[in-house]
Every structure is written in C-alpha cells, then in structure tokens.
A and B are shown apart, each in its own frame.
Chain A
Amino acid sequence: MAVRLRLICFITLSVAVPAFAQTGSPAGLAIPATTSAINSPTPLSQRVVAYDMDARYDAKAHALDASETLTYHNLTGQALDTFPFHLYLNGFQPTATWIREGKREGTRGQNFDTWDPKSYGAEEIKSFEVVGQGDFTSQLQYIHADDDNKDDRTVVQVHLPKPIPPDGYVQFKIKFHDQFPEVLERTGWNRDFVLGGQWFPKVGVWWHGAWNCHQFHAYTEFFADFGVYDVKLTVPQNEVVGGGGVEVSSVNNPDGTKTVTYHGEDIHDFAWTASPHYLVYNDTFQGSMGPVKLRILMQPAHWGQVERQARALKEIMDRFDRWYGAYPYKTLTLVDPDPGSQAFGMEYPTFITVGTFWWEPEGLHAGSVETIEHEFGHQYWYGMVATNEFEDAWMDEGINQYTQIKVMNSIFGPSTSVFNLWGVTAGQIDEDRLIYIGVADLDPIAKNGWQYADNNSYGAITYGKTALMLLTLESVIGEDTMRQAMRVYFARFRFTHPTKEDFLKTIEEVSGKDLRWYFNEAVYGTQVLDYEVLKISSVPVDWYKENVKEKKGQTEYVCNVWIHRKGEFVMPIDVETKFDNGDKVREHWDGQDRWVRYEYRKKAKIESVEVDPDHRIQFDRNNFNNSRTEEANDAAARKLANYWTCIGQFFAQLLAWWLV
C-alpha cells in the first residue's frame, strides 16, 4: 500500500505545473487517421501515439539498433512537462526488479539458481531529442516508484522545460540499442530464433490524472496508449519475419539483408519475430467486420499440425465474433516459436505466440489449441479492452480465462476441454479449480499484480479465481445475461482503458441487480466459499414404540438435514434432498447463519442431500462435502484402490525384475 501511495504522489507531483503560455508543442504534427490496417472506414480508437521506427537486427549478436520517432498527442486536458518511458529489456539484468521477483517467486522460465550471462538483456538510449526543445539524453532519469529498487532501469523519465499544452503534440526522436536476452520469458532469442517483445522505448499512459508507467515486473507488463505504428525491420535475408499490423513491403537490400515494413492502427504495442526455419501458412477468417488475413509461422517439425491450428483459430474467432463482438483488424499473425524457448503463449496486438510439440495428440486440448484460444482471447481482453495489467491483472488474464472456459467448453465439451486421452478426461473448470483451491485465501482478486504473495497466488487468483468467480456469477444473473454483459462491456470499453469498477458496474447495469455483496467478497475479499452437508438423519416418527418394524413406503420418518457454511464467503445456495421414494425437495438458503437445518416428515427416508445441485458454484473449496448419501457407495473408492494396487504391483514387479 505504501508503495502505491508513493507512486501516486510521484506521478501527481510530476505533472502539477501550470499551463504555460509558452509551450513546447511544435506545429504541423498529427497522429495519422489512416485505416488501412483495420476493417473500418474510421479510426477505432482515440489515437494518442504514433510510433515510427527503423530497426536493424544483428542476428549473430542478438542485438538491435534502431531509431524511433514518437509523436504524442496530449489529450489529458492539462499541460504535461514530464514523460515516462518503459525500457523493459533492462529488466533482464540480475539486479533489476523483474529478476529479483523472478528469483524470489520463480517464473515460468526458471528459478534463477544461477545467473546465466546469456539471460542478460539491455535497452540503452543512445540519444533522446525532443523536437523543438533539444537533446535530453543526459537528463534522462531512471525512476522506480513501485519498489524503490534503485538498480532497476526499466522506467526512465524526461522533464521538459516547455510543457506540452492540452491538445498539443510533442515529438521524441530516440536512438536506442537493444541487447536481447536468451528467452527467459516473453522476449529474446533462442538459437537462431528471436521474439522482439518489449523492445522499444514506450511512453506511459496518462490515466486518471497521473502518469501510469510501472516498472517491469515478473508477472505483469502491459499498459499503453492506442495509436499508429510504422515499423521497418532490417534482418538477414534468410529470415522469415512476422510482426503486428499489416506487412506493407519487403525489400531485399544489397548487403544481404532485407527490410520488412509493417503498419498497425489502433494498437498499443508492436512485437515481431524472425527465424530462418519458419514455414508460412496463410488463411482467411471472414469476420463480421470483414476478412482477416491469418498468417501462421510454423516450425517445420510442427507443420503437420498447421491445419488443425488454423481450423481451431477460426472456430475460436467465430465464437468471439458472435458472442462478444468483432475482431476489427485485417491481420492476425500466429507464431510457433522455437521449441524449448520460453517465448510461447504470449499476446501482442494482432500477433500471438502459441507453441506446441511435434507429437502433440489431438485429444490434448490444453496444448496448442488452448494456447491459441487464450492468446487470441487477449486480442479482446488486453488488445482492444486495454485494461491496466499491472493494477488489474484479473481484468486481462482473468476475464480472458473466463472466456477461454466458455469457448473451450463449447468446442470440446465441459468435461473434456483440457484433455480426453485414453479414457482420462479433464475440463477447463477442473483445471482452474485445482490452481485456485491451493491458495484460495492468500490474495483478493483486486490487487496490484506485483504484490501477490507469490507466483502461485498470482496465477491462481488472477486466472483461476476470476474465471470461477465469473462462472459462478452466471448462477446469480443467468448465463445469457452474463454473456450480454460481456458484450456490452466489450462494446462500451473497447479501445479504452476501463477500470475494475467499469466492468463490475456494467454487469450490475445489464443484469439490473445490485451485486455489491458478491463483488465485495469475491473480487475485493479473500473469503473462501465452502458449504457442506453436515449430517442427515431419518428417524421413524414412532421410534419409541416397541416391536415396530420399519416398512418402506409405510413407515413415517422425521428427516433432518444440516447444512453448514464452513467458509467465510456468504452466498445464497440451493439444497436438494432426495428421498428413497423418488421425491425431491429443494430449499433456498441465504447462507447468512453458519448452519441451517431442514426437517421433513415423510413416508420415506433421505437418500441423499446435495448443496448446489445444479453445480453452478465453481469456487467451493471442497466439492466432496457438498453432498451426502445415506447409503455408502464404495465403488469409486474401490475403483481407485484397484488402480493403486495395480500400480503398486507393477512397480514391485519392475523392481524385482531388474534386481533379482
């Protein structure tokens, strides 16, 4: 909390300057209003930035030299004299915050048991000019408001003597040198492959009256303004190149290199990749706003999967188009990164990385197809609805995880949407439940991404709990209403930077319900939901009489059911009691007390009791105690014990086979 306050103070003070009469805004600048990269006659976003970059990649040194011209349109409504920039490749240094957090919490790439010099990355500004104001290279200051790590150089700021007035423009001319790391996560090289992500100085976002430009953290990295990107990449001629936006041209140069030019609109980042091994597969998706050219860059060993991936991608795009809204861009590039690299499963505007392995079976939906779904989903929840991933990671990853479950379940079925192999199955909800229940009470959903207890909690809460929370919300407002709310949210907030309350209020508005009770617990709280059937009993009414024999259908019983709210999360639930004559009784309990008892007088005994009989609550920590049967049915336990016995026998035989 203290760190957050420091950050707010810093960014507020840094801009608290009067609007000078004398300004630093040069004349004749504008952000292009072109629409050649989108299926729309008019721009879709309020374009704040225009990046024009010319980069030359040295494949041997895994380094890049580039010039960047950034035109910024001051739409903040006030004069700006300070501009922060991300320099995220500096995160790949042993004293940087990214590595510190990775060392402390672990990352998906490695645990940093030792420091490998190949992991080093750097983004060095060679010159920094503000057009009309001069050279500021020597005046750049590294700032580190999130954690006060003075060794972190992932955010730099410049202070301008002449403020940029409201609605004015400023142009920065930056020359920089990148050293890519061997891919730890997200960006860098692996053998002769490179993924260029977070590779250029990118200005922060003026958001809610202050600059928002966080350091590079182990889990979170995205928040930027929409605009236009024109990027020239010069690479060796043998490289196959892919990038965000539309490829405008590819020209061979006399020095054995080629220059590939990309143009992107209404996007907030630009990533690219190059490898001499890619095979290219082209396809088209007919979206509701127009055709989308699909370009799949595939590793040769995976070429046999390319049609399957293309088919899956189009099926997924179709569902998003129908359920949430149109994908408006003219292109989407899907990258199959170098095997073994940690560049898989990344999202950038109109550009996603997937990853597979050569023997991936079709029944493993959690492999490349799930990754395609997830990363394409980010085109909506991150790409277009550009939430602040640092402060609201759940709105990016979690909402995306929720739509992933909906899409994957609709394609592959709820119980087999993770895998269906040799009679063993798993569904997306099971997967998210598993990651959630292990750390259910560590952190709330609404929390800064870098302040979670650890890597597990970040993943379990932002991805898992958010998805389960939204699925459970369907039980409160209805699945159709929830889909409608998502559609309205997308339509209303695409190409903007909504807050968590924007999202939650949209759901309340569409559903017409006050859902604060739910959001307070599920989004802002750490309460754990756990209901159990505490006990059941069926006692003959005339139990006290001697020599009375119970007769099915004739003996009257007093039947009692006790339901216990074990967790602190209070949620109304249904309770269904089944009797041995086939009768069913359903009760609705508000869950306010710690327990409730239901009593019935029937000529039947209780057969079973179940909390949440429709299985709509997805984040109950223990599903096994949600029901209780009068008679024990030990078949499942015997089945598992049999499996265990067989495994034990096999293991014992194997041991004896080799050793005796």
Chain B
Amino acid sequence: MSENTNLVSAGAEIAGRNKRYVVWFYLLNLVFAHFGASAFSDAAHNILDHSLNADKLLHGFNAGVFTELLTRPEFGALPAASHPAMMFAVVFLLASLLFMPGVLLGYASDHGLPRDEFYRVCGRNVWRFVRLFLFFTIIAGAIGGILFGALNALVTAADKTSNERLPFFTQLIGTGIIFLVLTVIRIWFDLAQTDVVLRDQPAVRKSVAAGFRKTRRNLARLLGSYVVIAIVALALLVGGILLWDTIVPPSSVLGAFIIGQATLLLLLAARFWQRATAVAFYTKEMAEPVVEETRPIPAFAAPIVP
C-alpha cells in the first residue's frame, strides 16, 4: 500500500510539476470538440434563436422538446451532427499519439523541457508510437473481444434465471473485471511507450517485451496505482455532474460551461497523472538497461540528438 502511495504521489508530483502539458492537451481537446460541435450548434441556432419554444430548453431541459428538435427536418439527420464530433475525437487521438512522446520525456526531465526538444522527440517517435498503437489495438482488441464475448454468454445465461438482479450484477462485475484486464494492458503499453521514448528505442518490440515483464512482476503495485487514480477520476466525474445538476441554474450557460470544463480538465489531468505514475515507476525500476543497448542511453534531462 505504501509503495502504491509512493508511486501515486510521485506521479502526482511529476504531473503537478508539468501542468502545462495537461493545459495544452485540454485546449486541444476543447478546440477540437468545439469544431466537432459546430454542425450541431449551427442547426440548433437556426431553429431556436428566434423561437419562444426554446425557453423549454433554456429554463430546464425538456427531453421531449429536445428530441423534437433533433427530429426536425431542418435540423438535419443526427448522424450528420455527430459525425464531426467523432471525426474530431479521432483527430484528438492522433494529436495525443503525436505529442505524447514529448510529454513523457518532459515528465522524466527534472527541469522544463525546451520546446524544440519537445517537438524533436515527438517527431522522432511518431512511427514508433503508431506501431505501439497497432500492437495495443491488436492485443487489447483480441483479449477484450474474447472477454466481452464470454461476458455476453454469461449474461445471457444469467438472463434465463428468474433472478432479475443476476444478469445486471453479472454484467457489472464482468465489466469491472474486463476493465481491470484492459487497465493492465494499458499499463503494459504505457511502460512500453515510456521505454521507447526514454531509451530512444527504435525496436518497439523490445520495449513491448520490457513493459510486459515489468508489468507482470509489479502487477499489484502498478494496477493499484492506476485503479486509485481511475477511482479519483470517476469521483471527479460524478462530483462534476452532481455539481452541474445541483448548483448550476438551468439557464446558466456560463455556469454549465465552467463546471463542465473544469470536470473535463480534471479528468484529463487524471490520465496524465497515470502517465506520470508510469514514468515515475520507469525511472525507479526500469532505468537499468533491460535489453542490450547498441547506443549510449541518453540522460533524461539532456537533449536527445537525433
């Protein structure tokens, strides 16, 4: 427990020291989502701005009126409004993929990483991170697919009993277990990503192997740390929604914006906290060479020369 606490607090310390990364990613997240919402926003403005019926959506949230709005032909098909949001979510994913190496190197540095160094390491690791992403997708997809398939079969079987709660709790517990398994895989690849960046490892398979070994040997410690942070994130999300529901007046667009954005910023920070925890673990446990190196190991604080 104390090891977990140390790791979590070490991660918090690193993430706290490098708040700018969270802020930049948050801004990217906000800007992309804003673009993603533009089609929806335009359609809503077109119908609501001059209609008194809009009051039912402003002073409260009448789900019937909202659904009616979505069904109006002049609103357009809902998929047309939601596609941009999905597209920009993918853009954010790609941006995360692109800039994460710089963040990891920044987290490992004991002083602020120069901007040019940040971009250099990002560029240097693009293809490596793409390969890691593909590795992760295949492994997590296969394991997740099998587990979800098994869970589905279990829930179907549970559904045949007259105990109505059984399928619900089977689903709940099963999803929780799958969440834990996928978290383990995520930890594995977080360590692999850290290894790729900090060791400047071109052979990502070696980092994947190293990440796997370390995850396996320190599973409880790492998983405990990640789960603690995930619980904090969940609490932040629930707290944010409750605050939104209880203290923000229905007609306060600004209030809803502030609470919503604060919650989303903190959620993003939680993920960066996990990242920082992985870096903290790495610098403590994996700094020694785990594979035979052909090049000198770069100092974490030193600029990496391409």
- Which residues in A have their C-beta under 8 angstroms from that of B56? 415
CB-nearest residue of chain A to B98 = A660
- In the bound complex, CA of A419 to CA of B67 (Å): 14
Mark each residue of chain B from 27 to 65: 1 if its CB lies under 8 Å from any CB of chain A, else 0: 001101110110011001101111111111110111111
| A644 in contact with B37 given A637-B45, A639-B58 (CB within 8 Å) | yes
Is A61 positioned at the interface, with any CB of B under 8 Å from its CB? no
Do A656 and B68 touch (CB < 8 A)?
A: no
Is B191 positioned at the interface, with any CB of A under 8 Å from its CB? no
Do A642 and B62 touch (CB < 8 A)?
A: no
CB-nearest residue of chain B to A277 = B162
- Which residues in A have their C-beta under 8 angstroms from that of B300? none
Is B97 positioned at the interface, with any CB of A under 8 Å from its CB? yes
Cβ of B78 to closest chain A Cβ, rounded Å: 11
Mark each residue of chain A from 413 to 435: 1 if its CB lies under 8 Å from any CB of chain B, else 0: 00100110011111101110110
| A657 in contact with B49 given A299-B164, A434-B71, A645-B34 (CB within 8 Å) | no
- In the bound complex, CA of A655 to CA of B86 (Å): 10
Mark each residue of chain A from 630 to 660: 1 if its CB lies under 8 Å from any CB of chain B, else 0: 0011111111111111111111110111111
Is B88 positioned at the interface, with any CB of A under 8 Å from its CB? yes
- In the bound complex, CA of A301 to CA of B164 (Å): 7
Is B126 positioned at the interface, with any CB of A under 8 Å from its CB? no
Cβ of A51 to closest chain B Cβ, rounded Å: 31
- Which residues in B have their C-beta under 8 angstroms from that of A627? 50-53
State which of B49, B86, B96, B267 has its C-beta within 8 Å of the C-beta of A660.
B96
Do B250 and A423 touch (CB < 8 A)?
A: yes
Task: Give the interface centre of A415, A427, A659 by most chain B CB atoms within 10 Å.
Answer: A659
- In the bound complex, CA of A128 to CA of B41 (Å): 69
- In the bound complex, CA of A359 to CA of B92 (Å): 37
- Which residues in B have their C-beta under 8 angstroms from that of A649? 29-30, 33, 264
- Which residues in A have their C-beta under 8 angstroms from that of B93? 652, 655-656, 659-660
- In the bound complex, CA of A430 to CA of B245 (Å): 22
Is A455 positioned at the interface, with any CB of B under 8 Å from its CB? no
Cβ of B139 to closest chain A Cβ, rounded Å: 12
State which of B60, B164, B182 has its C-beta within 8 Å of the C-beta of A340.
B164
- Which residues in B have their C-beta under 8 angstroms from that of A623? 53, 65, 68
CB-nearest residue of chain A to B61 = A424
Do A636 and B68 touch (CB < 8 A)?
A: no
- In the bound complex, CA of A648 to CA of B137 (Å): 22
CB-based closest 5 A-B pairs: A430-B64, A641-B41, A636-B54, A652-B89, A648-B33
Task: Give the interface centre of B68, B165, B267 by most chain A CB atoms within 10 Å.
Answer: B68
Is A438 positioned at the interface, with any CB of B under 8 Å from its CB? yes
- Which residues in A have their C-beta under 8 angstroms from that of B96? 656, 660
CB-nearest residue of chain A to B132 = A660
- Which residues in A have their C-beta under 8 angstroms from that of B161? 191
Is B127 positioned at the interface, with any CB of A under 8 Å from its CB? no
Is A367 positioned at the interface, with any CB of B under 8 Å from its CB? no
Do B162 and A427 touch (CB < 8 A)?
A: no
8 A-B residue pairs with Cβ-Cβ distance under 8 Å, sorted by A, are: A357-B164, A358-B164, A415-B56, A418-B63, A430-B63, A433-B64, A638-B253, A659-B137
- In the bound complex, CA of A203 to CA of B230 (Å): 65
CB-nearest residue of chain B to A630 = B50
Task: Give the interface centre of A429, A622, A628 by most chain B CB atoms within 10 Å.
Answer: A622
- Which residues in B have their C-beta under 8 angstroms from that of A425? 60-63
Do A634 and B49 touch (CB < 8 A)?
A: yes
Task: Give the interface centre of A625, A629, A639, A643 by most chain B CB atoms within 10 Å.
Answer: A639
State which of A192, A418, A429, A437 has its C-beta within 8 Å of the C-beta of B162.
A192
Is A560 positioned at the interface, with any CB of B under 8 Å from its CB? no
Is A391 positioned at the interface, with any CB of B under 8 Å from its CB? no
- Which residues in B have their C-beta under 8 angstroms from that of A438? 71
CB-nearest residue of chain B to A651 = B89
Q: Which of B79-104 contact A (CB under 8 A)?
A: 81, 85-86, 88-90, 92-93, 96-97, 100
Cβ of A355 to closest chain B Cβ, rounded Å: 11
- In the bound complex, CA of A419 to CA of B60 (Å): 13
- In the bound complex, CA of A657 to CA of B264 (Å): 13
Is A193 positioned at the interface, with any CB of B under 8 Å from its CB? yes
CB-nearest residue of chain A to B260 = A646
| B residues contacting the other copy or chain, number (CB 8 A) | 74
- Which residues in B have their C-beta under 8 angstroms from that of A422? 241, 245
Cβ of A637 to closest chain B Cβ, rounded Å: 4
Cβ of A376 to closest chain B Cβ, rounded Å: 24
State which of B45, B52, B137 has its C-beta within 8 Å of the C-beta of A610.
B52
CB-nearest residue of chain A to B84 = A648
CB-nearest residue of chain A to B28 = A652
Is A544 positioned at the interface, with any CB of B under 8 Å from its CB? no
Known: A646-B261, A651-B85. 11 other contacts (CB 8 A): A191-B161, A415-B62, A422-B241, A425-B63, A434-B68, A434-B71, A640-B44, A652-B88, A653-B92, A653-B271, A659-B136
Mark each residue of chain B from 7 to 32: 1 if its CB lies under 8 Å from any CB of chain A, else 0: 00000000000000000000001101
- In the bound complex, CA of A419 to CA of B245 (Å): 16
Is A517 positioned at the interface, with any CB of B under 8 Å from its CB? no
Cβ of B75 to closest chain A Cβ, rounded Å: 9
Do B41 and A637 touch (CB < 8 A)?
A: yes
State which of B36, B57, B71, B256 has its C-beta within 8 Å of the C-beta of A636.
B57
Q: Which of A426-476 contact B (CB under 8 A)?
A: 426-427, 429-431, 433-434, 437-438
Do A301 and B48 touch (CB < 8 A)?
A: no
- Which residues in B have their C-beta under 8 angstroms from that of A426? 62-64
CB-nearest residue of chain A to B275 = A660
- Which residues in B have their C-beta under 8 angstroms from that of A651? 85-86, 89
- In the bound complex, CA of A348 to CA of B268 (Å): 55
Do B63 and A656 touch (CB < 8 A)?
A: no
State which of B64, B100, B164 has its C-beta within 8 Å of the C-beta of A431.
B64
Is A43 positioned at the interface, with any CB of B under 8 Å from its CB? no
Do B40 and A659 touch (CB < 8 A)?
A: no
CB-nearest residue of chain A to B129 = A660
- In the bound complex, CA of A653 to CA of B85 (Å): 12
| A652 in contact with B29 given A624-B48, A640-B40, A641-B40 (CB within 8 Å) | yes
Task: Give the interface centre of A192, A633, A635 by most chain B CB atoms within 10 Å.
Answer: A635
- Which residues in A have their C-beta under 8 angstroms from that of B41? 637-638, 640-641, 644
Do A641 and B52 touch (CB < 8 A)?
A: no
CB-nearest residue of chain A to B65 = A430
Is A608 positioned at the interface, with any CB of B under 8 Å from its CB? yes
- In the bound complex, CA of A652 to CA of B89 (Å): 4
State which of A302, A431, A637, A650 has its C-beta within 8 Å of the C-beta of B267.
A650
- In the bound complex, CA of A422 to CA of B241 (Å): 9
CB-nearest residue of chain B to A608 = B52
Is A338 positioned at the interface, with any CB of B under 8 Å from its CB? yes
CB-nearest residue of chain B to A429 = B64
Do B64 and A641 touch (CB < 8 A)?
A: no
Is B206 positioned at the interface, with any CB of A under 8 Å from its CB? no
